[in-house]
Amino acid sequence: MTIHKEGYKTIAITALVLALLNLVVFKFLCCCCAVCWIFAVISLFLWLFIISFFRIPNRKYTIDENLVIAPCDGKVVVIEETIDEEYFKGKVLQVSIFMSPANVHVNRNPVTGEVVYNQYHKGKYLVAWHPKSSTENERHSIVIRKGNKEILVKQIAGALAKRIMNYTKVGQQVKQTEEMGFIKFGSRVDLLLPIGTKINAQMNEVVKGGVSVIATL
């Protein structure tokens, strides 16, 4: 396991703040050692949780040009036909994955291809499982063209997630399972797929980014 580069600053700031708080607590509550040590233990667990949030676990990724691989860790909360007004301007199949704060938050390319669309949208911070979060929340959308098919990947901010990082640009050739971006804290990723795509994932299925199969092209 390694730590993602997006976490270095957050981990360092958290450690500094917790250390200062512990110094204050131990200085002014020295007469109550039990409280001091309880606070110290809670601080340690909080710091370890922040570290775990930015973890990149060692995995064997799934590489297959005929498959759409999960772009993130989380639970499948939506599988439905919908209308996309942003890019396709028509019917698509939507698969949405909810990422809790405990999940790995690295986002990965679901397929190999060329990025033909890349757009950031300002928006609200509704809870990530809210039906309108897909179109009203802060989000970053990219479209990857693979042959004659296009897949839209939408990183969506949640009530806690207020920083979306995307590392792609239009014209870039991306490879399946390589890093596409990162979302800090609880959030969601939508996949918009062509009508007729075979969906392999199931509702409420817990998937792993770069490993689990979402669909067959």
- Catalytic site positions: 187
CA–CA separation, 52 and 65 (whole Å)? 31
Q: How many CB atoms lie within 10 A of CB 6?
A: 18
How would you list the strands of the sheet with 164-166, edge to edge? 106-108, 179-183, 164-166
Residue 145 three-state SS: strand
Is residue 94 a contact partner of residue 81, using CB atoms and an 8 Å limit? yes
CA–CA separation, 214 and 217 (whole Å)? 10
Q: Which of 12, 197, 27 is nearest to 111 (CA)?
A: 197
